[in-house]
Amino acid sequence: MSPAKLVVALLAVPRVMGLDFSIPAHILGGHDGYRVLVCGTAGPAGALLGITPTHSLAEVPEADIVVVPGYDEPEAPLPEEYLDTIRLAADRGARVVAICTGAFALAESGVLEGRSATTHWRFLAAFRAQYPSVRVLENQLFVEDGKILTSAGAGAGIDACLHLIRTDFGEAAAHEAGKEVVASPARGGAQPQYVDVLTAPRANLSDTRSWVMEHIGDPITVGRMAERANLPLRTFIRHFELETGMSPMRWVVSHRILSARRLLETSDWPVERIASATGFGTAANFRTLFRREVGTTPTGYRRLHGSAVH
């Protein structure tokens, strides 16, 4: 007798963005371990997109996983029946997943109160201002806090769905699902959303962050960063975490990883040279930290993402 499938309630929310809806519908709906229900109120969620619910919101609280896709004008709350449904599902213990601006619905429903979350980088400032009780983590593909999973834009939605499959059915299943959509299942949530964003968008400590990026291969300590910002150490740490959602050294490591990824993608430098140039010191230390942060080795990453260099 085959095991029961996990029920996924995919919400057909008003103003839904077609790509954010289709990604979980395709990836999770294509896996034998899930049964996906498209849930919502009567009428199409997006008339031009042809997305129409097949099940009512009454079935959502009983689902194992609830997925809220991104939607336009996220600062405007969804109808209360959708927010109540998300709240009930979370209270019952379901996993709740937001793709892109779907995080606004989770925050409005109250399930992100005191939790960590992310959303598309374009909406981070608005999200932070609208929901100050949520700890916003910038420039990450997805953030998992307990049973709540929030992700950035559509591409990060793929990573979040593959993460669900990996959690529920193992690495091999995630690998197969990744092959189906021609995506690597190795990307972890802490990877940057957008590779050209090298500093957080808020400006208070931007000079210090710019200095770090210019000296990414040098020894860097929190003390040196605080001196550069002309702030007492504790004050600097507090302001830095408020601006970026990360501790200073966690931010430094994330940008060293970003710099290393770029070199692996675009150069033929050996691992030892990349380790030195990005501040990791030894190749052994670089390999250990890279695997921890990215989920694969530098050589494996280069094999997947590197371009031929002549």
Specify the DSSP class assigned to residue 74.
T
Same domain for 131 and 243, yes or no, is no
pLDDT at 246 over 80: no
Q: What is the mean pLDDT of residues 298-309?
A: 75
Q: Per-residue confidence at 5, pLDDT binned at 50, 70, 90? A: very high
Q: Name 276's Cβ contacts closer than 8 Å, sequence gap at least 6.
A: 217
Record the pTM.
0.62
Residues 258/299, Cβ–Cβ less than 8 Å:
no
Task: Report how many helices (DSSP H) and strands (DSSP E) the chain contains, helices first.
Answer: 13, 8
Same domain for 165 and 214, yes or no, is no
Parallel, antiparallel, or unpaired for β 65-68 and 142-145?
unpaired
pLDDT at 190 over 70: no
| pLDDT score at 200 | 40
Cα 178 to the center of its chain, rounded Å: 17
Same domain for 212 and 142, yes or no, is no
Same domain for 151 and 210, yes or no, is no
- Residue that terminates a domain, selected from 164, 180, 196: 180
Same domain for 298 and 150, yes or no, is no
To the nearest whole number, what is the mean pLDDT of the chain? Answer: 85
More confident residue, 26 or 202: 26
More confident residue, 152 or 45: 152
Same domain for 152 and 253, yes or no, is no
Whole-angstrom Cα distance, residue 80 to residue 65? 20
More confident residue, 205 or 231: 231
Phi-psi sector, 99: left (phi>0), alpha (psi -120 to 50), beta: beta
Domain count, the chain: 2
- The range of the structural domain enclosing residue 289 comes to 206-305
Parallel, antiparallel, or unpaired for β 135-136 and 34-39?
unpaired
Whole-angstrom Cα distance, residue 82 to residue 41? 9
Q: What CATH number should be reported for the domain holding residue 228?
A: 1.10.10.60
- Tens-place pLDDT, residues 247-270: 899 889 888 888 888 888 888 999
Is position 198 within any domain? no
Q: Which of 82, 74, 100 shows the shortest CA–CA distance to 21?
A: 100
Q: Which of 143, 78, 139 shows the shortest CA–CA distance to 108?
A: 78
pLDDT at 307 over 80: no
- Tens-place pLDDT, residues 199-223: 344 446 888 888 998 899 999 999 9
Work out the burial of residue 291: count CB atoms within 10 Å of its CB; fewer than 13 is exposed, 13-18 middle, 19 or more buried. Answer: middle
Q: Which of 36, 96, 26 shows the shortest CA–CA distance to 68?
A: 96
pLDDT at 183 over 60: no
Q: Per-residue confidence at 68, pLDDT binned at 50, 70, 90? A: very high
| pLDDT score at 108 | 97
**Amino acid letter at 105?**
A
Q: Which of 290, 309, 34, 31 shows the shortest CA–CA distance to 186?
A: 290
pLDDT at 156 over 90: no
pLDDT at 159 over 60: yes
